[in-house]
Amino acid sequence: MSLLDLTGKKILLTGGCGALGIPVIKLLVEHGASLLVIDILSEDDALKTLEQQSINLENITYYQTDITNQKQVQTLFSELLNLKILPDVVCCHAGMSKAIPIQDYPLEDFDKLMNLNQRAAFIVAQEATKHWLAQNIGGHLIFTTSWVQDVPWPEITPYNASKASLKMLMRGFARELAPKGIRANAIAPGIVAAGMAKLQLENEPEYKSRAEKAIPLGNLQSPESVANSFLFLCSEMADYMTGSVLLVDGGASLYPMDD
Ligand X SMILES: NC(=O)c1ccc[n+]([C@@H]2O[C@H](COP(=O)([O-])OP(=O)(O)OC[C@H]3O[C@@H](n4cnc5c(N)ncnc54)[C@H](O)[C@@H]3O)[C@@H](O)[C@H]2O)c1
| Catalytic residue positions, numbered | 159
Binding site for ligand X (CB under 6 A): 14-15, 17-21, 38-41, 66-68, 93-95, 97, 116, 144, 146, 189, 191-192, 194-197
What is the C-alpha radius of gyration for the chain, rounded to an integer number of angstroms?
18
* Beta carbon of residue 24, minimum distance to ligand X (angstroms, whole number): 9
**Reduced to 3 DSSP states, what percent helix, strand and coil does the chain have, rounded to the nearest 5?**
50, 15, 35
- CB nearer ligand X, residue 20 or residue 215: 20
DSSP per residue over 233-249, as a string? HHSGGGTT--S-EEEES
Q: Measured from the CB atom, is 39 or 127 closer to ligand X? A: 39
Which one, 119 or 180, has the nearer CB to ligand X?
Answer: 119
The DSSP output letter for 116 is I
Instruction: Find out whether 169 and 118 touch, Cβ atoms under 8 Å.
Output: yes
Q: From start to end of the chain, where are the E strands?
A: 10-14, 34-39, 60-64, 89-92, 139-144, 182-189, 245-248
Query: Residue 145 CB, nearest distance to ligand X (Å)?
Result: 7
> Can you tell me whether residue 211 is helix, strand or coil?
helix
Closer to ligand X by Cβ: residue 94 or 164: 94
Query: What is the distance between the alpha carbons of residues 141 and 190, in angstroms, rounded to a whole number?
Result: 20
Q: Is the four-CA dihedral 167, 168, 174, 177 of positive or negative sign?
A: negative
Question: For residue 35, what are the β-bridge partners?
Answer: 11, 60
Task: Supply the minimum distance, in Å, between the C-beta of residue 179 and ligand X.
Answer: 28
In the complex, minimum distance from the CB of residue 1 to ligand X, in angstroms, rounded to a whole number: 30
Please, how many CA atoms are within 13 Å of residue 226, restricted to the half-sphere of its CB? 30
What are the helix (H) ranges across 5-156? Answer: 21-30, 43-52, 70-82, 107-114, 121-134
SS3 62: strand
Q: Which is nearer to ligand X, 29 or 76 (CB)?
A: 76
Least distance in Å: CB of 221 to ligand X?
7
Nearer to ligand X, 144 or 235 (CB): 144
**Nearest distance, CB of residue 182 and ligand X, angstroms:** 21
